Each structure stands twice: as structure tokens, then as C-alpha cells.
Amino acid sequence: MKKCEYCAKEISYHQQYCGDDCHRRANQYYENCDRFSKLFMGVNVVCVFGIPAGLFILSVVKIVGAVIAGGSCAMLGLMLLIFPFPTEGMVKKFGIKKARSVTRIVGIACFALGLLIVGMLAFLF
């Protein structure tokens, strides 16, 4: 059976969505992806390069490196909470609804890890 693109419920082969609500929400999701994709990619690139750069600087200057690495990780997690745009593979496998939930869970974990890294500074110094 074919699955609804938004909620992943089984539907007939002639439909794309299981109802009008799923159709409206999927269209809203795709509009948000188009509207915020450049911002999402820009912040993602800065954070993904900021984490290893901070870890490299951590070997030389501990405080600055930990702040850069932890801040980048926390900013990446916050971005995934605000803009939960999963990959196309996740959307095909789980549907938009569940893929966004999984992305938000990853965002919460990444944000908590960033806060943990920065919070360790209070105990070390």
C-alpha cells in the first residue's frame, strides 16, 4: 500500500494524502522549507565547521575552544528545534510528521550537549 506523505498512514494508490488536513500541513511544511532553506543552510554550515574548529582551539586555549565548540553545538540544536527540516530520506521513510519529531529530538540532544560542554567550564575553571 501507498503511504500518506505527511502522516505515513496507508492510503489508496490514487491519493497522495489521507485528508485535507495532511495536504494543508504538508504544503505549509514545503513552503517553510523553501522560505527558510538559505538561513537553515547558512547556520548549519557555520555550526558544523564551528564544532571541529572549537575542538581544535580547545587543545590550545581551553576556555575559548570550549565556548566555540559548545556554543556551535547549542546553536545547531536550537536551529533544529526552530527549523526541524529532516532529510529527504527520513521524509520518505517516516513521513513528514514523524521525521520532524525525530529531528526535534536530535535538536534537543544537540542543544543539551552544547550546554553541557559550556557548563563544564564552570566546574573546570
Q: 3 pairs with which residues across the strands?
A: 10
Mapping DSSP to helix (H, G, I), strand (E, B) and coil, where does residue 2 land? Answer: strand
Q: Which grid cell sits at 29?
A: 511544511
Model confidence, pTM:
0.86
Which tens digit of pLDDT belongs to each residue from 34-49? 999 999 999 999 999 9
Would you list the domain boundaries of the chain?
2-124
Which residue stretches of 10-61 are H helix? 20-58
Which tens digit of pLDDT belongs to each residue from 86-109? 999 999 899 999 999 999 999 999
The amino acid at residue 88 is: E
Mapping DSSP to helix (H, G, I), strand (E, B) and coil, where does residue 10 land? Answer: strand
